[in-house]
Structure 1
Amino acid sequence: MWRNLLKKIINASILNADFSNLKDALDQATAAGIDWIHLDIMDGHFVPNISMGPDIAQLCRQLTPLPMDAHLMISNPNDFIPRFAEAGVNLISVHIETDAHIHRTLKNIKDHGCKAGIVLNPGTPASSIEAVMDMIDLVLVMSVNPGFGGQKFIFPVLSKIQQIRKMIDLQKRDIYLQVDGGVDATTLPQAIQAGADSFVVGSAIFRNPVGITQAVRQLKLLLDS
């Protein structure tokens, strides 16, 4: 029987970090044990917000040796895949909802030397990604509607995480199951129970009253419990 042996990881989303002192924020998170840096890329079209672009990705690559994944919440991902690859990201995720030719887009990501992820919004069924399971390295399940940080976890997505866990296990290879949105010390254990093994955390790290270091340590303890 196939067993998922991937290490559970925390991906620190810098969307809610203090950009006036980004190096210090990244240094604190790294020292506390963060595994990956997560970049939320928004274009103001696919989602109702504008965030960062390849220049910020390149800056982060200069500031940290940690792996980085770029979550492209944009209408035309193929136009930007080369630039994010050149900026030094390790994995690029695109939304199943944005692309009528998703196989071509995933191949484009791989052709530029990055691992490829597929993203589902809260209302998108798990069945929508069945045809691309053999092409991906990560499935990202949104547990909020994308566009803004600091939102509340949408609990019905837990059943979808369970469905996708079964789909991944049938592939019998290493595919991360990531959850993003409202992940904190309360919701993370429930996402683990549902089958997720990669957790994007933003506000609960960078806006936590206990500070970045203690926030990360608390989350890492939950991964091991």
Structure 2
Amino acid sequence: MQISASILSADVANLAAVTAGLERSGLDMLHFDVMDGQFVPNITFGMPVLAAIDQCTNLFMDVHLMIKDPLRYAEQFVKAGADLVTFHLESDSDPVQTIEAIHKAGAKAGIVLKPGTSWETAIPYLEMVEVVLVMTVEPGFGGQSFLWDMVKKIEALRNYALVHQLDYQIEVDGGINAETAPRVLRAGAEILVIGSYLFRQADPRAAMDEIRAEAIKLHDETYA
């Protein structure tokens, strides 16, 4: 299990210091939400900010494109430092071409599903990607409440991977905290995006360790 901290909820005036602190705390990935004001009604970060942060850290850069035309910008985000680029199947770009462009640029590729998009929509692309990101809130803003119905989508994607012997990882983004993390881990999630909950903690390392301990407990129960 890996934790990806969403800097959408961080102190944007001190991103270098925040990133350094998270790296010292044992964070696995930095989750970078890109919003263009068209695909979602919010505007956040672009390539220059990503490149600047990438210069300050050795953390794995997990870049989530919530934009209208991810194919147009995929290569640029990889060049700016993205190690993984995930994009929405609901965007205007052709999914196969976008996945191929991300891979050609040298990064891992993932597809993202909004809460209202069925998991079956992802089936044609599951053999091509390294990650499937399940949104457990509506994309566009941080601090939303977890949508519990999405647990079934995570379970379905995990079962499909097992039946068809596919090795994509399931990432979950939205409303992840000490209460919801165990449930999505049990359902089959392997990468947890944590934003508001993590940045509210006085001790982020302790918060992450608590969730990791739960993951170890679930693993031991599964393979006992």
Q: Which residue identity does 1:221 align to in structure 2?
A: A
Among the aligned pairs, what percent are the same residue? 39
CA-to-aligned-CA distance 1:12-46 (integer Å, 9 cap, x gap): 11111112221221122112211111101001111
The runs of 5 or more residues in structure 2 that have no matched partner are 218-224
The runs of 5 or more residues in structure 1 that have no matched partner are 1-7
Correspondence 1:223 to 2:215: yes
Alpha-carbon offset, residue 172 of structure 1: 2.3
More RCO (CA 8 Å, sep 6+)? 1
Aligned to 1:135: 128
Aligned to 2:24: 31
C-alpha contact 1:32 1:217 (8 A) present in aligned 2? no
C-alpha contact 1:133 1:171 (8 A) present in aligned 2? no
Aligned to 1:3: none
Match of 1:119 among 109, 112, 125: 112
Aligned pair count reads 217
C-alpha contact 1:28 1:213 (8 A) present in aligned 2? no
TM-score, normalised by the number of residues in structure 2: 0.93
Q: SS state of the match for residue 107, structure 1?
A: helix
C-alpha contact 2:4 2:193 (8 A) present in aligned 1? yes
CA-to-aligned-CA distance 1:175-210 (integer Å, 9 cap, x gap): 1100000001110000011111110001111123x3
Aligned to 1:4: none
- Over the residues paired in the alignment, what is the CA RMSD in angstroms? 1.3
TM-score, normalised by the number of residues in structure 1: 0.92
Alpha-carbon offset, residue 59 of structure 1: 1.3
Structure 2 CA distance for aligned equivalents of residues 218 and 55 of structure 1: 34
CA-to-aligned-CA distance 1:135-191 (integer Å, 9 cap, x gap): 100000000000000100000000010000012223424311000000011100000
